[in-house]
Amino acid sequence: MLISVVGLGYIGLPTAALLASRGMRVLGVDINPRVVETINKGLIHIVEADLDAIVYSTVGKGLLRAVTKPEPADVFVIAVPTPFHDGAPDISHVEQAARMVGPVLRAGNLVILESTSPVGTTEHLCSLLAELRPDLKFPLAGNGEADVCVAHCPERVLPGNVLREIVKNDRIIGGLTEQCTKRAIAFYQLFCEGECLPASVRMAELCKLAENAFRDINIAFANELSLICDRLGINVWELVRLANHHPRVNILQPGPGVGGHCIAVDPWFIVASAPEQARLIRTAREVNDSKPGVVLREIRAYANELKSNGALRPGIACLGLAFKADVDDIRESPALAISEEIARWGDCDVFVAEPHLKRLPDSLSGKNHVVMTSAPDAIARAEIVALLVNHRQFLQIERASLTNKKIVDTRGLWS
Ligand code: SAJ
């Protein structure tokens, strides 16, 4: 069996490598030639625990190969981005994947959409494929047995723990017809140790969105508590710790905001599809999106205080740019947004420490007052220390090095 994984990013590449490590022949497809070249050398372009070794060995054994244009295969797994732009979901990458895959489809194929998608996207994908291939029978309404099966099986893996969760997590599998669901379940059972739960295609789409909206709302609750605690002069980390001793309470951790390509995006798909009903989901998004501004106001107040005491250019250490601990992903990262805004002020020197990046992102580079350095050096050179990401490396920071610094600890590492 030849599996083609379309989109070799944070989900597609680990999936492709994992399948290859189980002895399946895998063809990875990505429109970016640099990504394809990197993978074919046995190297990786993202940070994910243990991914480097498994890509190296599967490419070396000839089980995993990357290309820029799809070739015929038995199963196509589509894992491309589905961002949210200007108040609307952008499914253009899914459409592009359909246009790429359509011409190489054959009778007997299975096409699975893993990208987190607004309700209705998988049906749309199927219609596009049907338009492209009138010679094949697709599982559209009342169409009977199909030549090509189409299903949605949303990825549910946690960045940083992807290779384990691809195997261990339960999967929701929504085929366009029962035939499609059965075929997709049989495919996932080849490598998935979790339960493969059948669903309708729209149920599978909304289920994934609901999972991420649930987490977003829970983080918003923690973030709102942090605002309340600031007002009341109470330590929010201690409050959460004590409250969580209740047997039915499990409050999440406040932070500088919610980032990443999933939780900061997916709830908007629900809001866009049912704006009148999704009131709590929208408010949670707004609460979480307001957090970077709160952190910035705190840092600005310290900078103003230092300036009024004679400092010409206060130094600010920004510890971490990634959207969360122990990953290199800066998509929708509140830490990055905060650092960018501080850089825009122009009247402070910015010392950025991000152990997972080799160089500053474009939005911060080329500015004389922004430098990338190690965390200890950033702290030594700054008067204000903003801890923005709780990376493992930052646990090693000597507490003594923080003496006499203005601390903005957004993750409760030192609180
Ligand atoms: N965060 C907090 N406080 C917390 C937990 C998280 O501020 O207590 C922040 C993080 O720092 C980060 C953001 O929330 O900025 C999201 O991080 P996360 O670890 O909660 O989630 P993701 O985005 O890495 O992965 C989520 C997962 N979804 C759920 O847990 C419901 C994952 O299972 C999904 O597969 C993934 O989204 C996805 O791809 O959709």
Question: Measuring CA to CA, how many Å separate 94 from each of 100, 132, 363?
Answer: 10, 14, 27
Strands (E), 48-203: 64-67, 75-78, 84-85, 88-89, 110-113, 149-152, 171-175, 196-200
State the average pLDDT for the chain. Answer: 97
Strand 149-152 relative to strand 84-85: parallel, antiparallel, unpaired? unpaired
Q: Is the CB of 165 under 6 A from ligand 1?
A: no
Distance CA 222, CA 66 (A): 42
Query: Phi and psi (nearest 5°) for 408?
Result: -120, 95
Average pLDDT over residues 288-317: 98
Closest residue to atom 1 of ligand 1, CA basis: 258
In this prediction, residue 142 has a pLDDT band, given cuts at 50, 70 and 90, of: low
**Residue 43's closest CA among 23, 28, 27, 59?**
59
pLDDT (0 to 100) of residue 95: 98
In this prediction, residue 261 has a pLDDT band, given cuts at 50, 70 and 90, of: confident
Average pLDDT over residues 192-203: 97
Q: Is the pLDDT of residue 141 over 90?
A: no
**Is 262 among the catalytic positions?**
yes
- pLDDT tens by residue, 298-307: 999 999 999 9
- Tell me the HSE value of 22 on the side-chain side, using a 13 A CA sphere: 20
Average pLDDT over residues 45-71: 96
In this prediction, residue 126 has a pLDDT band, given cuts at 50, 70 and 90, of: very high
Q: Is the CB of 209 under 6 A from ligand 1?
A: no
Closest residue to atom 3 of ligand 1, CA basis: 253
pLDDT (0 to 100) of residue 415: 82
pLDDT (0 to 100) of residue 144: 76
Distance CA 76, CA 27 (A): 9
Buried b / exposed e over 203-228, threshold 16 CB at 10 Å, is bbbbbbbebbbebbbebbebbbbbee
Distance CA 269, CA 94 (A): 15
DSSP secondary structure code for residue 68 in this structure: S
Q: Is the CB of 207 under 6 A from ligand 1?
A: no
DSSP secondary structure code for residue 233 in this structure: T
| Residue in this structure with the two tokens 């910035």, named with its chain if needed | 296
Q: Which is the closest atom of ligand 1 to the Cα of 389?
A: 11
- pLDDT tens by residue, 318-353: 999 999 999 889 989 999 999 999 999 999 999 999
Tell how far the Cα of 215 is from the centroid of ligand 1, in angstroms: 7
pLDDT (0 to 100) of residue 143: 62
In this prediction, residue 50 has a pLDDT band, given cuts at 50, 70 and 90, of: very high
Catalytic residue among 126, 153, 208, 324: 208
Q: Is the CB of 164 under 6 A from ligand 1?
A: no
Work out the burial of residue 20: count CB atoms within 10 Å of its CB; fewer than 13 is exposed, 13-18 middle, 19 or more buried: buried
Residue of 158, 214, 218 to mutate, ligand 1, most atoms within 8 A of C-beta? 158
pLDDT (0 to 100) of residue 47: 85
Closest residue to atom 14 of ligand 1, CA basis: 258
Average pLDDT over residues 64-88: 96
pTM score = 0.95
Average pLDDT over residues 266-282: 97
